[in-house]
Amino acid sequence: MTSWTCTLILALCGAPLTVQPGTWTHKTEANFAAGTFDATAVSSLGELQLARKTQVLVASEAAPAVVWALATRGDEVYLAGGADRCVYRLADGKCVKLAELPVAMVCCLLADGEGVLAGAGGEQAAVFRVSPAGQVKQLWADKSARYVWALASAPGGGIYAATGAAARVIALDAQGRPTTLYEAPKTLAKNFLCLAADGGKLYAGTDSGGLVIEIDPAARAGRVILDAAEEEISAVVPDGAGGLFVATADASKAGPDGAPAAPRGDSS
């Protein structure tokens, strides 16, 4: 009996020695899709990185098919649905349609003390004001451009708008009267995709050439301050100390697993 017991113990102890380690190599974003992320994120290049902890505010089945832009006003969160032409507000875990605009798509949002401003596009570039009650007022429209890709606050209750395709930065006063501050030569860009204001200057990012252009509103002049290796400048954010954070993109690497993707800006 003792001998049998010892044999069992030896057999059980020896069994793990026959297990061979397995190796898995994850190279693409799709490889990580089946996993559960906890304070981590994976890039479109398949790189696993530390990230902020996230909280789902509204389930995907209750949200627009595409969330093209976000804006906040106090505790209020506004969404742009892109090609569904709608502006939404998050309330009690629900996505409530605030307004549907008479445009092809809603490209960007900017919240202010009166509600939210929406930059839109399609047959013409346009800016709308949407009140918290869902009332819509068109502030400005221009058929010589097709999209308003970005908005920024301007002094005196006005706003700045970045457009395409023609790449312009326009100042709108509180009544919606426009002044063109800068228009990029077509050899530089067809669209300004992003816009930021800081220290009396404006900073606009292009859809081609990877350029950040500093614009002096008073002089109505601009100069290139960054020529990035990537084709697109997708975001420009002041760092509060006179510098900028700049996000770049390359269409050849932006698709799943590195497959080419269509550029964001209009090319017509």
pLDDT at 11 (0 to 100): 46
Domain count within the chain: 2
| Same domain, residue pair 101 and 73 | yes
Residue 82 to residue 118: CA distance in whole angstroms: 11
The pTM for the full model equals: 0.79
Contact 5, 11 (CB under 8 A): no
| Same domain, residue pair 103 and 233 | yes
pLDDT one digit per residue (tens) for the chain, 268 residues: 444 444 444 444 444 556 778 787 877 888 888 888 888 988 888 888 898 888 888 888 888 999 999 999 988 999 999 999 999 999 888 899 999 999 999 999 999 989 999 999 999 999 999 999 999 999 999 999 999 999 999 998 999 999 999 999 999 999 999 999 999 999 999 999 999 999 999 999 999 999 999 999 999 999 999 999 999 999 999 999 999 999 999 877 755 554 554 545 554 4
| Same domain, residue pair 51 and 63 | no
Q: Encoding tokens for residue 169? A: 């930065």
Start-to-end Cα distance in the chain: 88
Domain residues for 110?
59-258
Residue 218 to residue 197: CA distance in whole angstroms: 13
Residue 231 to residue 264: CA distance in whole angstroms: 11
Residue 158 domain-assigned (yes or no): yes
Residue 111 to residue 70: CA distance in whole angstroms: 9
Q: Where are the alpha helices (DSSP H) in the chain?
A: 2-14, 251-254
Residue 245 to residue 126: CA distance in whole angstroms: 28
pLDDT at 92 (0 to 100): 81
- Domain end point (choices 55, 77, 102): 55
Sort 201 into a burial class: Cβ within 10 Å, 0-12 / 13-18 / 19+.
middle
